[in-house]
Structure 1
Amino acid sequence: MSETDTSAPLLEAKNVVVEFPMKGFRKAPFRVLHGVSLDIHPGETVGLVGESGSGKTTIGRAILGLVEPAAGTITFDGQDITRLHRKERRKLSDSIQVVFQDPYTSLNPTMTVGDILSEPLLVKADLKGSARTRIRELLDQVGLPSGAVDKFPREFSGGQRQRVAIARALALSPRLVVCDEPVSALDLSTQARVLDLFIEIQERTGVAYLFVSHDLSVVRHISHRVAVMYKGNIVEYGDGDQVTSEPVHPYTQKLLMSAPVANPVRQRERRIERHTMLAASSKEGHN
Structure 2
Amino acid sequence: MNDLLTVEDLRVSFPGRGRRAPRTDVLKGVSLRIRPGETLGLVGGSGSGKTTIGRAILGLVPVRSGAITFMGERIEGASARRRRELSRDLQVIFQDPYTSLNPSLTIGDTLSEPLLAQGIGRAEARRRVGGLLDRVRLPADAADRLPREFSGGQRQRVAIARALAVGPKLIVCDEPVSALDLTTRQTVLDLLLEIQRQTGVSYLFVSHDLAVVRVMSHRVSVIHRGEIVETGEASTVTTRPEHDYTRRLVLAAPVADVARQRARREAFERASAQPSGANTSTDR
- Common fold, TM-score beyond 0.5? yes
1:261 alignment counterpart: 255
Provide closer, same or farther for how the CA distance between residues 276 and 155 of structure 1 changes in structure 2, counting only shifts above 3 A. farther
Residues 257, 273 of structure 1: 8 Å contact kept = no
Instruction: For structure 2, list consecutive stretches of 5 or more residues without a partner in the other structure.
Output: 275-284
Provide closer, same or farther for how the CA distance between residues 206 and 109 of structure 1 changes in structure 2, counting only shifts above 3 A. same
Shift of 1:262: 1.4
The answer to whether structure 1 residue 66 and structure 2 residue 54 are counterparts is no
1:128-277 alignment to 2 at 5 Å?
128-270=122-264
1:34 alignment counterpart: 28
Shift of 1:125: 1.8
TM-score if structure 1 supplies the norm length? Answer: 0.91
Paired letter, 1:210 = L
**Selected match of 1:13 from 4, 7, 13:** 7
Q: Deviations over 1:151-197 (max 9, x none)?
A: 11111111111000000011111100000000000011111111110
**Selected match of 2:80 from 68, 82, 86:** 86
Residues 258, 270 of structure 1: 8 Å contact kept = no
Aligned-residue sequence identity (percent) comes to: 59
Provide closer, same or farther for how the CA distance between residues 248 and 277 of structure 1 changes in structure 2, counting only shifts above 3 A. closer
2:41 alignment counterpart: 47
Shift of 1:268: 3.6
Instruction: For structure 1, list consecutive stretches of 5 or more residues without a partner in the other structure.
Output: 1-6, 281-287
Shift of 1:145: 1.0
**Selected match of 2:110 from 116, 137, 156:** 116
1:283 alignment counterpart: none
Provide closer, same or farther for how the CA distance between residues 25 and 131 of structure 1 changes in structure 2, counting only shifts above 3 A. closer
TM-score if structure 2 supplies the norm length? Answer: 0.92
Counterpart-to-counterpart distance in 2, 1:85 and 1:105:
26
Q: Deviations over 1:68-125 (max 9, x none)?
A: 1101000000000011111111110001000000101111111111111111111222
Residues 244, 272 of structure 2: 8 Å contact kept = no
Counterpart-to-counterpart distance in 2, 1:223 and 1:96:
18
Counterpart-to-counterpart distance in 2, 1:32 and 1:111:
35
- Give the match's secondary structure for 2:195: helix
- Give the match's secondary structure for 1:236: strand
